[in-house]
Structure 1
Amino acid sequence: MTTERIDRASVGLRSERGPILLAVMLSVGLVAIDATILATAVPSVVEDLGGFTQFPWLFSIYLLAQAVSVPIYGKLADQRGRKPMMLLGVGLFVLGSVLCGFAWNMPALIAFRLIQGLGAGAIQPIGMTIVGDIYSVAERAKVQGYIASVWGIASFVGPTLGGVFSDYISWRWIFFVNIPLGLAAAWVLSRRFHERIAQQTKHQIDYAGSILLAVGGSLLLLGLLEGGVMWSWDSAISIAVLALAVVLLVTFVFVERRAAEPVLPLWVLGQRVLNSANSSALLVGVLMVGLSTYVPLYAQGVLGTSALVAGFALAAMTIGWPIAASLAGRIYLSLGYRTTMLFGAAIVVIGAGLLLGVSPGSSVLYLALACFVIGLGLGFTASPGVVAAQSSIDWRSRGVVTGANMFARSVGSAVGVAVFGAVANAVVASRVGGNQKELEKLPGNVLAPAIHDVYYGAAAAAVLLVVAAAFMPNRVKEQPRD
């Protein structure tokens, strides 16, 4: 077996780990800000480039590229080391950002967003893997809170920067702002993060598995994202896309059984700790997309708030998350992983119940409170799941495990978009029928029941999160970090 490890003489000291953590936080910040900054600039982009009917692909293509590349990067990080894959991810993200900033039409911008997504697919999982490598379980509890806080800060910084650039400078600067952040992160990683990779055998890259996973995963996510949007669920193209995805993914499973070094080893699906962590991550993805998509729409379309106020209502979730993530470590170190995750899942159920109580007469503060409570619960659930998964695996497989967890969350987001979209569309269709004028306006008396049914779906996902958390062992035997 190939021996690969981080050089403890270089990164074992606290003085060295601080800059590495800062670089990881800067890198994750690139992805976190990008998740919110573009949404506020879409009107300016469409006004400049045209292509109103194409703009949803700015988000879909990014999600597709990010999701399907995550497991591949995770495996390559185990084979080639964390540093080169992380630098590759940051480099692709910055390159995609530069190209997006110079895009001349909507198709070009969509293509360059794909490059950004490929970079993001490396940054998140490998950043979390590096944290798992250089920090112990006890230390990781606090560090997870730091990284979660990046998302909380981005929830305010992203929309604000997007609005400022769009209104006063140019929407193109929402991409150019990534350049100094990316260069700073790459510089610190290249100077302060040192790995020693000792290779006794030559690696065999699983090309067949990688291609099958990338294409099959892309088709599956494409079918889930665009079903009921670009085409109806029972259309020929929808059936063909999903059927081909299933065929390719089933073929992928057979290929992985024979591969010398599979890109996604099947043993990942056979361990209790990993199954609980990944199923929880999938449901976290479902809940996150349900909130991020429909809470602002409800605030604006039903409660009559401005876009900025609606954004702050959603930001309450990303405030609760880092608070809980920073506190979760103390709980799972003393009471165990399952207890902590069940505690968090129970809080999510309470938050989902509050969300069901939202009505057209509610205040936006009540809506923000429900989001805050759900964010707290997700922080107590998601962070222990990642730490438990990483702790149960040694260095050589930690990248694959972290990548699989992030992939599960991305798939959950796509499933959430599809399911919640189908629910909302069905209610809207039953209310307005074939009245195209009403369909375009979508008045509050139509939006309210449609989104309220989405909240029922979120509540169901919250209950399933309790079930997934219940399968996590309370204690996990920690494997060596190198």
Structure 2
Amino acid sequence: MTLTRTSPADGEAPPQALSIGLLLVILIVAFEAMAVSTVLPRVANQLQGLSWYGWASSAFLLASLFGAVVSGLLSDRRGLALGAGISLGVFAAGLLVSGLAPDMPAFVLGRFIQGLGAGGLGALPFAVITARYPEARRARMLAAVSSAWLLPALVGPLLASLMADHWSWRTVFWGLIPVLALAGPLCVLPLRAPASAPQSSAEEPATASHPRTLWPALALTISAGALIEGLRRADLPGAVMIGAGLAGTLLSARPLFPRGMGRLARGLPSALVLRGFAAFAVLGANAFLPLALHELRGLSLTQAGVLLSVGGVAWTVGSWVTDQLERRSGPESRPVRIRAGLVLISLGLGVTALSAMGVWPLWSAYLGWCVTALSMGVAYNANSLLALSSVPAGGAGRLSGQLANIEVLMVALAAGASGALLARVPSLPTAFALAFGLMLLGSMVPWVAATRLRQV
């Protein structure tokens, strides 16, 4: 999402209701993200749809990629209030469809609708903060937005599992709709009032770029979806879908990302590859880890949810560690931090996988996942800072979109590939072993990309 054509006057504070509504929206999106991974094993079991397990995550992610572009286009042409209102309404409709789903395909449809809304809501805070908050208050509001993810990380998985155990997994989705009804007016109504000063002309090119990215984003969503569905099928149409989906994904991605990613060109292309495959490995494993612990180690949803909470808190701590190291060691230490973090990510994933498969004690899964998430927070943020430093100030908005898109695309492919293994491999332990192996291989690709981060 880019900026609207207005921005606040220096020192003018936005309505307090806008800040409250914005943080409530972040809390809702973050809780949904943390809760779904926890209750998804229960959903797949009750709806008898294990073969659709990967699609429950992939559909949401691919839809969010396209939804962010559409919402940004609406916001630029008709104002932030309309973009925010439509995103909230679509997200609420998706929650309702998922909560009422009679079978797994209907649940996946609901997740797709949720993704369309969540794509716009995920980009909303940065657009609103830039357009409606004075310079002096932006850093504080950005910190508040980041902190809003910590509470859902702590209590989201546990609360979702308790709701599923005592009532139904459906209440996890229905329960968010009343909160949305509260957050919606607080967030949308203040955005209807015009801001006080015109936006600088330097920001106009970002607005003009949206129509050129709309159709490539749609093509990428469709092509990646065809590739994922092809992997899930074991017939001739599936093979055709794999070929067409792979070709379409590569072609439609070209207008959205810089050249040279395929050959790991130095600088920004390698930084994007690093981010994409790190997300592929860690967030891809996160998509099926609760199911693996439930099926292979007999953990309850609550126990599996605790593991996700540990990971969420560890990632946040890793982000704080990066901030402290950045202040003490400066930008020159970023490549070293990135490489160390990547090695520890692979190590932590290996420990978690061996524990989930029953080779090592169960407690080591918590240790391994904590190491993985903490290291991800360190390497991920250091890589983002390095990438941002490689572009001029006028290109920061476009780079933010590229960083978000490569992450969403790669996590969707990871969830789809692991879901395909669960659908096609008869032995569940073997399917999980292959899925963990795929994530581990993915975690090693950034090792190579990390050697190409310095620009020539």
CA gap 1:48/1:400 in 2 versus in 1, 3 angstroms: same
Deviation at 1:401, TM superposition (A): 3.4
Partner of 1:432: none
Q: Is the 8 A contact 1:314 1:368 kept in 2?
A: no
Q: 1:178 to 1:223 in 2, by over 3 A?
A: same
Contact 2:64 2:118 in 1 (8 A): yes
CA RMSD of aligned residues (A): 4.4
- Does residue 229 in structure 1 map to residue 212 in structure 2? no
Deviations along 1:17-36, one digit per CA (max 9) or x if unpaired, are 87655444322322222223
> Residues 351 and 50 from structure 1, CA distance in 2 versus in 1: closer, same or farther, beyond 3 angstroms?
closer
Retained in 1: the 8 A contact 2:62–2:409? Answer: no
What is the deviation of 1:413? 0.7
Query: Is residue 91–residue 114 contact of structure 2 (8 Å, CA) maintained in 1?
Result: yes
CA distance in 2, matches of 1:336, 1:182: 41
Q: What is aligned with 1:243?
A: 244
Distance of aligned partners of 1:163 and 1:185 in 2 relative to their CA distance in 1, 3 Å threshold: same
Identity of aligned residues (%): 20
Rate the CA distance shift 1:252–1:67 in 2: closer, same or farther, 3 A.
closer
Displacement of 1:224: 4.0
Q: Distance in 1 between matches of 2:91 and 2:434?
A: 36
- Equivalent in 444, 449, 460 of residue 444 of structure 2: 460
1:320 pairs with one of 299, 306, 314 = 314
| 8 Å contact kept, 2:337–2:378 | yes
Residue 6 of structure 1 contacts residue 196 of structure 1 at CA under 8 Å; is this kept in 2?
A: yes
Which residue of the other structure, out of 197, 213, 219, is the alignment partner of 2:217? 213
CA distance in 1, matches of 2:196, 2:138: 23
Q: Aligned partner of 2:312: which letter?
A: T
Which amino acid letter does the alignment assign opposite residue 399 of structure 2? Answer: V
SS in 1 for 2:233: coil
In 2 relative to 1, CA 198–418 (structure 1 residues): closer, same or farther, beyond 3 Å?
Answer: same
Distance 1:265 1:310 in 2: 36
CA distance in structure 2 between the partners assigned to 1:82 and 1:472 by the alignment: 37
Any idea what the Cα deviations from partners look like across 1:217-275, whole Å, max 9, x if unmatched? 1233224433432346xx4433345426635863786xx6xxxxxxx596999998754
Alignment of 1:264-343 (within 5 A): 264=256, 274-275=268-269, 277-333=271-327, 335-337=329-331, 339-340=333-334, 342-343=336-337
Q: Which residue of 1 aligns with 2:23?
A: 25
Aligned to 1:154: 152
Out of 102, 112, 115, the residue aligned to residue 114 of structure 1 is 112
Closer/same/farther in 2, CA of residues 303 and 56 from structure 1, 3 Å limit: closer
Letter of the 2:114 counterpart: Q
Partner residue in 2 for 1:124:
122
Q: CA deviation at 1:394?
A: 5.3
* Distance across 1 between alignment mates of 2:315 and 2:134: 21
Q: What secondary structure sits across from 1:8 in the alignment?
A: coil
1:480 alignment partner in structure 2: none
Q: Which runs of 5+ in 1 are unaligned?
A: 257-263, 430-435, 474-482
Question: Which residue of structure 1 aligns with residue 164 of structure 2?
Answer: 166
Structure 1 residue aligned with 2:181: 183
Tell me the distance in 1 between the aligned counterparts of 2:75 and 2:322.
Answer: 27
**Is this contact kept in 2: 1:92–1:116, CA < 8 A?**
yes
CA–CA distance in 1 between the matches of 2:30 and 2:450? 27
Q: Which runs of structure 2 are paired with 1:54-73 in the superposition (5 Å)? A: 54=52, 56-73=54-71
1:471 aligns with 2:454: yes
Deviation by residue 1:142-189 (Cα, 9 ceiling, x = unmatched): 766654444443244333333333333343322222223323433333
The answer (yes or no) to whether the contact 1:28–1:150 under 8 Å persists in 2 is yes
- Closer, same or farther in 2 for the Cα pair 1:144/1:338, shift >3 Å? farther
TM (normalized to structure 2)? 0.76
Q: Is the contact between residue 70 and residue 403 of structure 1 (CA under 8 Å) also seen in structure 2?
A: no
What runs of 5+ residues in structure 2 fail to find an aligned partner?
A: none
Residue of structure 1 aligned with 2:343, choices 338, 346, 349: 349
How many residues are matched? 440
Kindly indicate whether the alpha-carbon contact (under 8 Å) linking 1:63 and 1:410 is maintained by their aligned counterparts in 2.
yes
Give the drift of 1:412.
1.5
State the SS of the aligned residue for 1:112: helix
What SS does the aligned partner of 1:288 have?
helix
Separation (CA, whole Å) in 1 of partners of 2:260 and 2:89: 29
Letter of the 1:350 counterpart: L
CA distance in 1, matches of 2:220, 2:245: 10
> Displacement of 1:62 after TM fit?
1.7
Q: Distance in 2 between matches of 1:112 and 1:411?
A: 19
In the aligned structure 2, how far is the partner of 1:271 from the partner of 1:75? 31
1:144, 1:326 within 8 Å by CA — same for their partners in 2? no
Deviates further, 345-354 or 19-28: 19-28
